[in-house]
């Protein structure tokens, strides 16, 4: 039996939510908080969404969506265009490559995996920005950003898990 039009619309909307939630994290990341220096150390929220969905629902977080999120992040944050897209695609690739290892493991293992991937991603960003500027950028802000991103991961992973259980169940 062919699904009805509304059933297909509902399925499409549900399948779009990981991208939409990650896009929402991108917008939240771009909100100016008027705290001196916070923009340089703010947690990289879209990275959390990309990693989480790549591990748990890779079918709903395609590379094209990750690329778009990266380009939008560059425009909103003032980074050179393509830096975040490259970093986010590397994170997607790393998470997909290790998905079979992470899937079904305890949260601590997934979190440690995220910290390793995020550490590599922020190191890559620091390296690329140093090349772009032509001088070594202070790594201190990348270290603080890593710490804040790692600290926010459990909360967002919990929210995404609840969302997945409530809305993304397979028919």
Q: Is the whole model's pTM more than 0.75, yes or no?
A: yes
Task: Check residue 166 and give its pLDDT.
Answer: 86
- List, in order of start, the domains of the chain with CATH numbers: 15-167 (1.10.1760)
Mean pLDDT to the nearest integer, 143-168? 93
Q: What is the pLDDT of residue 67?
A: 98
By percentage, how much of the chain surpasses pLDDT 70?
98
Long-range Cβ contacts of 42-46 (<8 Å, 24+ apart): 42/145, 42/148, 43/145, 43/148, 43/149, 43/151, 43/152, 44/118, 44/121, 44/122, 44/145, 44/149, 45/149, 45/152, 45/156, 46/22, 46/70, 46/73, 46/84, 46/88
Tens-digit pLDDT profile for residues 93-122: 999 999 999 878 899 999 999 999 999 999
Per-residue confidence (pLDDT) for residue 137, from 0 to 100: 83
How far does the chain reach from its first CA to its final CA, in angstroms? 14
Q: What is the mean pLDDT of the chain?
A: 91
Q: What is the pLDDT of residue 12?
A: 85
């Amino acid at each position: 039996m062919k699904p009805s039009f509304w059933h297909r619309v509902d399925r499409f909307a549900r399948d779009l939510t990981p991208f939409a939630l990650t896009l929402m994290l991108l917008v939240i990341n771009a909100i100016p908080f008027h705290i001196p220096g916070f923009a340089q150390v703010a947690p990289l929220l879209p990275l959390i969404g990309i990693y989480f969905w790549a591990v748990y629902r890779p079918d709903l977080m395609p590379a094209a969506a990750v690329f778009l999120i990266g380009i939008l992040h560059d425009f909103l944050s003032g980074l050179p265009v393509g830096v975040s897209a490259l970093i986010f695609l590397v994170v997607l690739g790393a998470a997909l490559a290790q998905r079979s290892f992470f899937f079904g493991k305890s949260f601590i293992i997934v979190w440690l995996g995220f910290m390793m991937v995020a550490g590599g991603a922020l190191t890559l960003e620091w390296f690329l920005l140093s090349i772009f500027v032509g001088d070594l950028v202070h790594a201190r802000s990348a270290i603080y950003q890593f710490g804040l991103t790692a600290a926010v991961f459990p909360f967002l992973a919990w929210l995404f898990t609840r969302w997945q259980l409530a809305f993304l169940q397979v028919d």
